[in-house]
Amino acid sequence: MSITPLPPLDRRQAATAVLAAKKRTGVRWADLGKAIGMSTEWTTAALLGQHPLTDDQAATLGSALELDAAVVEALTLPPVRGKDVSDSSEPLVYRLQEVVQVYGSTIHELVREEFGDGIISAIDFELELERVPDPKGDRVRVTLNGKFLPYRTW
């Protein structure tokens, strides 16, 4: 019976290998984004398994991170969205969830007043993270930018 040619790594294992390589090489997320001409945020998400990467993008990132060929190949697999590398009990991620719990109804009401019946797209969507210097302690500004999608009626 022959040996089955299964892909040697999946996207989650590739993300773990990327984190290890990033520590080893000292390259920064912003450098990786520039290498493929994409934003830092999108590139980070893609390397963590949340977006697809083309063969060219994977090869370029593989060179920058000195990744093994098997990891580069795994980076071209379909993304595994929704289940994150970070656990929901991870303290930083939990606080983002708390923001949704505390301010979800506020965002809902403000969108309903301003735009009408619809949602903020999580697909036609951009995320940006910036450091905001502050004498009382620097701050993190996370910008969620999504297209308003009105409910179709028919």
End-to-end Cα spacing for the chain: 57
Q: Under the criterion CB under 8 A, does residue 78 sit at the interface with its own copies?
A: yes
Residues designated as active site: 95, 98, 121
Task: Give the shortest CB-77-to-its own copies separation in angstroms.
Answer: 8
In the complex, the smallest distance separating the C-beta of residue 63 from its own copies, rounded to whole angstroms, is 15
* Interface mask toward its own copies for 6-45; x: CB under 8 A: xxxx---x-xxx-xx-------xx--------xxxxx-xx
Among residues 127, 108, 126, 106, the alpha carbon closest in space to that of 118 is found at 108
Across-strand partners of 126? 145
- Residues numbered 95 to 154 that lie near its own copies (CB under 8 A) are 95-115, 117-127, 129, 131-132, 134, 136-154
Collapsed DSSP state (helix, strand, coil) of residue 119: strand
Six-digit token pair at 129? 């993270």
